[in-house]
Chain A
Amino acid sequence: MFAYLVRRLFLMLVTLFGISIVIFCLLRIVPGNIVDILFAAAGYVDPADKANLEKELGLDQPLVVQYLHWIGGFLRGDFGYSYVSEKQALQEILPRIPITARLAGLALLFSASIGIPLGVISAVKQGTRLDYALRVVSLSGLSLPSFWLGLLILTASVAMFGQMPIFNPNPQTYLEAFATYAVPAAAVGFRSAALTMRITRSSMLEVLRQDYIRTARAKGASDAAVNYQHALKNAILPVITVIGIEAAFLIGGLIVTETVFNIPGVARFLVEAIRWRDYPIVQNLVMLIAVVVVSANFIVDMLYAVFDPRIRYTD
């Protein structure tokens, strides 16, 4: 088990190194840099001013030097300065992370707490009207883009209540704080919940046909005990995998949701930084996301062993 852990950790580091190269190269392949954008916005180019600015930002250095400078800083925890705001990159990134983390956490919670029970119900009540209704709901969840759903919620709120669930940076109570995040989390988590529900349903259907379930019923176990204690425990593995993948995929949905609900989170900030070609922000932020995603996958792999006693990582 220990050797496996070490091997996975090593693989993680190699993956992250590869990702750092990809991030760095992709940003350089995209046409234009911050200097081009600044001058494009001003509508003029003074070659001397341009050269000065490139020198000031270190963009005149060879690419290898730029890469080593960045990755060295990242490893030391020195994320450099934002080209745009001229503030420390970490100072710009850190306050935004909890906002997005809360939103993502709530969306995942929404996804799991709605998706798993409804998936179980749908499987247990297979072929009934309730099952069909739940399947329609899950299908619509997969079909509705979160930005559209978000705009629909905003428009409906204004039209029906004259209020708008827009981000409140200083909530006074826990309820206000919850309200600030709940609606956007539901908008972005709806798709995720639908997916979780479908996976749970299909996985449950497979498990419910197993012999040991029949045995449990024959021994007089209650429906709840059979469904949740025996069946769900074994059906949950693919669901955990999907939720793990969704955690990474959620970032994409959050970019749009943060834009529509005007939430100053890290996802929207990343898009803006890309627009400005703010390399220190984009590189460090994407790298941080990569670290989170790779670590999440690692944790999911470890969780397999916890949830399924049959899985044992051996040397």
Chain B
Amino acid sequence: MRSVWALAATAVVLSLLAFSTITLAGEPKQGGILRMYHRDSPGNASIHEGATYSINVPFMPVFNNLVIYKQDVAQNSMDTIVPELAESWAWVNDNKTLTFKLRQGVKWHDGKPFTAADVKCTFDMLMGKSQQKFRQNPRKTWYEQVSDLTTNGDFEVSFNLKRPQPSLLALLASGYTPVYPCHVSPGDMRTHPIGTGPFRFVEFKANESIKLVRNPDYWHKGRPYLDGIEFTIIPNRSTAILAFVAGKFDMTFPTHITIPLLKDAKSQSPNAVCTVEPTNVSTNIIVNSSAPPFDNIDIRRAMAMTLDRKAFVSILFEGQADIGGTMLPPPQGLWGMPKDMLQSIPGYGPDVNANREEARKLMQKAGYGPDKHLAVKVSTRNLAEYRDPAVILIDQLKSIYIDGELDVVETANWFPKIARKDYMLGLNLTGSAVDDPDQSFYENYSCGSERNYTNYCNKEIEKLFDAQSQETDLNKRKKLVWDIDKKLQEDVARPIIFHARAGTCWHPYVKGVTVMSNSSYNGYRYEDVWMDK
């Protein structure tokens, strides 16, 4: 009997020990420098003046937003928005005022206190209403419905809207929407950013490195776990991935590894944890519909119908990319059309040959055929992710009597060229910072928008944009969005070919990394990342 008790006691002790070991192993550890490579040297350190995640990745950890997408949930949605510099928020005044109660006792990295004035300063500057100006303000249009900001004391701020816009909260939760300090000029923020975030800026050596160090006075007690983050700028992708494999880096640059390269990385570093997620960047065709021959809707439709999207996905992504409309398709995308709806759009059906037969009939109706081909220049930017699909597109267009000639345009000239509509047909990439129709529809399809490269303008659709934007019922809004997206594809406003995916890898001792699955711009606060080393 005695031995039975002894055995039982031993078992209990052992299981307790085992349990405590498991707990300890899973518990975040403080310390360590996260070493990551950076794909290029960002132009500056000011998130508000940039339009590339090359700025967000290294500098998002320096800042806080009013609200933010939960950093440990991959899919951004309204349900995953949590307070950050705000403690709470409320929609009042028939959803025309969004009021935030702010966190008290927060300090900027230079020791000055954070107040509601900083929030007002930031958004006044974003709306172009302040004396101080950003050199560039690429997301000014996000705040078109905001008439002004009012403060109530030091710790309450209200956004007053011209009309209800539920998506404003989503825009505020983006990595693109940090709060800046009033007392630091936009110029200084470009070279030496001051934030309230988990890491302080140490130095940025162009083409060399970016260094951040733990903010010991961070308002979120116990965070961040890391002592710092160091980014080494390595523009050469092969060198960067080899360096990761050799253990020089703990993590690759997020969503930077192409699918074929990911296989290489995995084979050389089999223990690496790798994930492939959509980047919410669509590859699409821009058509100059204001000039012949693409002012003819039949030719535009024929072109859209000849696309073999599966071929693009299989050649460029070994099958790992998504086919959809303007909005990122489900399950990662929140607003993408359901599959049956998508397949009912001309050109999206599974029978490519039948689609092309229809397309050829449309071309013949427009006066083209086997004996009379249409010669077009297919313009694209001189980057691999643009050029490669453009070549496939040219090949596919041949099947409907269109002879495409590749016109490769240097980056510096790409945007000015398409903005002045100096192209016939182009292959373009469009990224969405927030998986929300307001961000995508107004920017890319609204009449007169700077980024509406195709000059598509449909007043009826415009009304629907406003209707969905004001709709507070999520399901009703979703249905509206699907209808709009379907209509945009049927109108061949900007035919979407595919939505890309890309890989991220890290060594197994790096914990707490979450790669966002419906945006490449929002998941880099890194306060929950730690290293089990």
Residue positions of A touching B, CB distance < 8 A: 31-33, 36-46, 49, 52-53, 56, 82, 84-87, 92, 151, 154-155, 157-159, 162-164, 166, 169, 259-262, 264, 268-269, 272, 275-277
Q: Are A260 and B43 in contact (CB under 8 A)?
A: no
Within the assembled complex, what's the spacing in Å between the Cα atoms of A33 and B333? 37
Within the assembled complex, what's the spacing in Å between the Cα atoms of A40 and B513? 31
> Nearest-CB distance from A76 to chain B (Å)?
24
> Nearest-CB distance from B55 to chain A (Å)?
10
CB<8 Å pairs between A and B, sample of 10: A40-B412, A40-B413, A42-B49, A42-B51, A45-B416, A158-B268, A162-B246, A162-B247, A259-B235, A275-B411
**Does any Cβ of A come within 8 Å of B278's Cβ?**
no
Q: Which residues of A contact B137 (CB under 8 A)?
A: 46, 49
- Interface hub of A82, A86, A155, A158 (most chain B Cβ within 10 A): A158
- A84 partner, pick from B44, B208, B414, beta carbons under 8 A: B44
Give the nearest-CB partner of B133 in chain A. Answer: A52
Q: Are A262 and B450 in contact (CB under 8 A)?
A: no
B76-84, B237-245, B339-347: which one contacts chain A? B237-245
Residue positions of B touching A, CB distance < 8 A: 41, 43-44, 49-52, 133, 135-138, 140, 187, 190-191, 204-209, 232-236, 238-240, 242-243, 245-248, 268, 410-416, 419, 450-451
Given A155-B242, A162-B246, A259-B236, A85:B206 Cβ within 8 A: yes
Within the assembled complex, what's the spacing in Å between the Cα atoms of A37 and B415? 9
Q: Which residues of B contact A36 (CB under 8 A)?
A: 412-413, 415-416
Give the nearest-CB partner of A150 in chain B. Answer: B239
Q: Which residues of B contact A264 (CB under 8 A)?
A: 205, 207-209
Q: Which residues of A contact B268 (CB under 8 A)?
A: 158-159
Q: Are A92 and B206 in contact (CB under 8 A)?
A: yes
- B207 partner, pick from A38, A158, A269, beta carbons under 8 A: A269
Give the nearest-CB partner of A261 in chain B. Answer: B239
Q: Which residues of A contact B140 (CB under 8 A)?
A: 46
Known: A36-B416, A45-B415. 12 other contacts (CB 8 A): A32-B413, A37-B411, A40-B415, A43-B415, A44-B138, A45-B419, A163-B246, A164-B246, A166-B239, A260-B239, A262-B233, A275-B411
Given A164-B243, A260-B239, A42:B136 Cβ within 8 A: yes
> Nearest-CB distance from A144 to chain B (Å)?
17
- Interface hub of B207, B234, B419 (most chain A Cβ within 10 A): B207
> Nearest-CB distance from A40 to chain B (Å)?
4
Q: Are B412 and A164 in contact (CB under 8 A)?
A: no
Within the assembled complex, what's the spacing in Å between the Cα atoms of A269 and B208? 9
Q: Which residues of B contact A272 (CB under 8 A)?
A: 41, 206-207, 235
Q: Which residues of B contact A37 (CB under 8 A)?
A: 411-412
Give the nearest-CB partner of A262 in chain B. Answer: B234
Q: Which residues of B contact A92 (CB under 8 A)?
A: 206
Q: Are A158 and B232 in contact (CB under 8 A)?
A: no
> Nearest-CB distance from A18 to chain B (Å)?
27
Give the nearest-CB partner of B428 in chain A. Answer: A43
Q: Which residues of B contact A82 (CB under 8 A)?
A: 206
Given A52-B133, A158-B246, A86:B191 Cβ within 8 A: yes
- B411 partner, pick from A40, A42, A46, beta carbons under 8 A: A40
Within the assembled complex, what's the spacing in Å between the Cα atoms of A87 and B203? 13
Within the assembled complex, what's the spacing in Å between the Cα atoms of A84 and B208? 14
> Nearest-CB distance from B127 to chain A (Å)?
13
> Nearest-CB distance from B423 to chain A (Å)?
14
Within the assembled complex, what's the spacing in Å between the Cα atoms of A297 and B187? 43
Q: Which residues of A contact B248 (CB under 8 A)?
A: 164, 166
